[in-house]
Structure 1
Amino acid sequence: MFSRLKPFFTHPGTGSHAPLRIFWVGLAVRLLYITIAHTYRIRLLLDHFQFGWEAGRIARALVTGYGYADPFLGHTGPTTWIPPLFPLLIAAIFKLFGVYTPLSAWMVFAIDSVFSAATALAVYEIAFRCYDAAGLGRRIALWSAWLWALYPAAMQYAVHWVWDMSLTTFLFSWTLVIALRVRSIGEPAGQSNPQTAFRWGFFGFLWGLIALTNPSLLIVLPACGIWMLWGSRSSFNSSVQAASKAVFAGIIFSLCLAPWVYRNFQVFHAFIPTRGNLGAELYQSTLEENGGFP
């Protein structure tokens, strides 16, 4: 397994490892800030509601025996208010370190910091591939990755907010890396066929995780997939092969969603592929008190 995943962390064109020191420095800075600034001491407002908001509430319900339910105050029953991946992560932490405890908060922020710091590796490769043709790839990639690793605005969601932003950004950035690899952007001349089944399958898997975390990003998926397929139009055979691999990615994507869709159908007797809060959110958006930033 490691031998198959290793190429995802290598420097394009040379085969050398991506600069992992950027990841470790970025992670260390985030963990130090969480610890020194005591961001894990979350306010008790509305019975710890700021600890994960709806995701935290669902995680508490999971740990205390109410199932995937109760996203707000009180016991309101089963829900599809948000997809399950991040609430399940919080629930696992609650199970190990206690519900709404400071240690649980520190662990959530630490895991978010891992995702946030690891995004720097994707930023590095995206920048390298996009600027390598101009001979500036490595220089721009290093600047970009270090900025992501150390810029305060880039790390704030990992160290202040118990929400899915860091996980979502991590997953999304690596889908862009795979798209660039499939299109051979930044690849050395004479590279073998980049449209491999493994890349397409991993692409579908990452998008499946995104759909179970923050499905709003799915608006990018069709355009990204078409752009990847567009690079295989050199011949009829290559187009057919790429299309078959795209179908394979779609199957992987569907398999990721299948357990959640099945659960929703069993509970609500309706087809709910990701989440079911559109009506409530749309209504809230029309209220006068929700105008502007709030």
Structure 2
Amino acid sequence: MEKNIILKFIKSQKASLIIFFIAFFIRVVFALIKNSPLSGDELFYETTALNIMSGYGYSIGGHLTARIPPGYSIFLSFVYYIFGHHFIAIRIVQAIIDALMCVVIYRIARKLFNEKVGILAGILCAVHYFFLKAVQLIRPDTLQMFFIVISVLYWIRWKGKFFKKDAILLGLFSSIAVMLKANIVIMPFIFILTEFFNIIKNKKAKISIFFKSAIIIILVFSLPIIPWAVRNYKVYHAFVPLATDSGTALYSSYNPPEGKKFGIIPDDVVMRDAKKIKSEVERSRYLTSKTKEYVLNNKKKVMSLLLYKTLFFWSILDWETLGDGKGVYNFSSAFILSLSILGLIILRKRIKHFVAIVIPIVYMFLLALIFQGLPRFRMPIEPFLIIFAAFSISYLLHKFSKKIVTFLLLVWFFINFTIFLYTPYVYKTCRIIMKNLQIW
């Protein structure tokens, strides 16, 4: 009896299991070959995780902190507690979570399009080099991407029907994503507002059912955030719902070194003065105030920064996740982005049907314009871009000769891969072109 149940489950979940195991085995290989020392933000997460394990709380340098939400540090401390202090354990757990993300993308694509597009999207996620390299890093990017993607899945399930179970899971997964990185805190409310406008427009559901379900989402979403905010109030005697690094992030995004190097904290007079302020809250307020002052007094420069933020956000040269400080051509993203743009063009007249995966893309891009545009900040939306890329491939295979389309896709992939192999020359060429255009 049990054997029959297992066989039925395997048969019904065949595509999901195949995608998961392909994704997992590739990621395990990448998890095992990473040996370089921690750097940058990785050191912060590592230190705070060890402090949590040692009973010092979420702290750094002997002081409690709220610089960024504690979700990833708690995750690290939990994995260390179970498996010991081994980076390989972190990377393997991240490999499992990222493989599950590929399955979730398969299900979203299948729901929005069809089985064929779903399988293509899942496989593309499974082999996407950007995701494979991210698994190696001790950073929250991989985890947050999973929770953003699964939140979108439950938004799709929740919309129109407003079942309590879907509302609870949407609120829960969105909250976990925010506790990993605060940047998507507004996204769940955008989901709710989108459905509210749909109800007003279409009048297909009772407004009372929607509001009850929306309240459930907000309550569940708030559950982890409220105790964290209370803790911060006790520490700082100020309202800090999520993090105290917003001032630093804002100031750095409008005053990048050399006017264009995002992701690096400037070493100017304002930042040096800020470092003298002991309170994280007061430091953030000071930098936020200085940012507002700068924006109001330098409107032309601020507008020119939008171009740089756009270029950095959509850059196919990566110097963080792939490059360790050196620019590396992201051949996988270049391949995906071109196909996703084609998919968006083909679907332009029906784009409202795919709002669930368009909104996260638009949201993260607008956020990059306000804060900093870096390639790794694009990573949470690449699963959704992959869905559009998968649709493009399916569309081309259906409309034209399969042999010709397959050949052209392979040619396009190998062109990008060849550019990746000759990255140093490409990097120099891009810099020369951008300098001649007076962009760099």
Q: How far 1:275 sits from its partner (Å)?
A: 0.6
Residue 25, structure 1, aligned to residue 14, structure 2:
no
Q: How far 1:224 sits from its partner (Å)?
A: 1.5
Retained in 2: the 8 A contact 1:126–1:141? yes
Partner of residue 107 from structure 2, selected from 125, 138, 141: 125
Residue 85, structure 1, aligned to residue 79, structure 2:
no
2: distance between equivalents of 1:242 and 1:209? 23
Structure (1 or 2) with the larger CA radius of gyration: 2
Residue 143, structure 1, aligned to residue 115, structure 2:
no
1: distance between equivalents of 2:41 and 2:89? 12
The one-letter code sitting in structure 2 at the alignment partner of 1:177 is: L
Higher helix share: 2
Match of 1:271 in 2: 239
1: distance between equivalents of 2:252 and 2:62? 18
Partner of residue 42 from structure 1, selected from 36, 41, 50: 36
Judged with a 3 Å threshold, the aligned counterparts in structure 2 of structure 1 residues 236 and 29 are, in CA distance, closer, same or farther, namely closer
Partner of residue 51 from structure 2, selected from 54, 57, 61: 61
1: distance between equivalents of 2:76 and 2:99? 19
The one-letter code sitting in structure 2 at the alignment partner of 1:81 is: R
Deviates more, 1:48-57 or 1:208-217: 48-57
Q: TM-score, normalised by structure 2?
A: 0.53
Q: How far 1:62 sits from its partner (Å)?
A: 1.9
2: distance between equivalents of 1:65 and 1:241? 45
Retained in 2: the 8 A contact 1:27–1:114? yes
Q: How far 1:50 sits from its partner (Å)?
A: 5.0
Residue 244, structure 1, aligned to residue 238, structure 2:
no
The one-letter code sitting in structure 2 at the alignment partner of 1:123 is: I
Judged with a 3 Å threshold, the aligned counterparts in structure 2 of structure 1 residues 55 and 138 are, in CA distance, closer, same or farther, namely same
Residue 204, structure 1, aligned to residue 171, structure 2:
yes
Retained in 1: the 8 A contact 2:175–2:222? yes
Q: How far 1:236 sits from its partner (Å)?
A: 8.4
Q: How far 1:79 sits from its partner (Å)?
A: 0.6
Any stretches of 5+ residues in structure 2 without a counterpart?
1-8, 265-440
Judged with a 3 Å threshold, the aligned counterparts in structure 2 of structure 1 residues 252 and 51 are, in CA distance, closer, same or farther, namely closer
Q: How far 1:26 sits from its partner (Å)?
A: 0.6
Judged with a 3 Å threshold, the aligned counterparts in structure 2 of structure 1 residues 31 and 211 are, in CA distance, closer, same or farther, namely same
Deviations 1:97-122 (A, max 9, x none): 555xxxx1101111111121111112
1:180-259 counterparts in 2 under 5 A?
A: 180-183=156-159, 194-233=161-200, 235=203, 238-259=206-227
Partner of residue 283 from structure 1, selected from 240, 251, 274: 251
| Residues paired across the two proteins, number | 251
Retained in 2: the 8 A contact 1:55–1:87? yes
2: distance between equivalents of 1:216 and 1:178? 19
Deviations 1:270-293 (A, max 9, x none): 111111111223334425257325
Q: How far 1:179 sits from its partner (Å)?
A: 1.7
Retained in 2: the 8 A contact 1:42–1:51? no
2: distance between equivalents of 1:76 and 1:282? 26
Let me know the Cα RMSD of the aligned residues: 2.4
Q: How far 1:49 sits from its partner (Å)?
A: 4.2
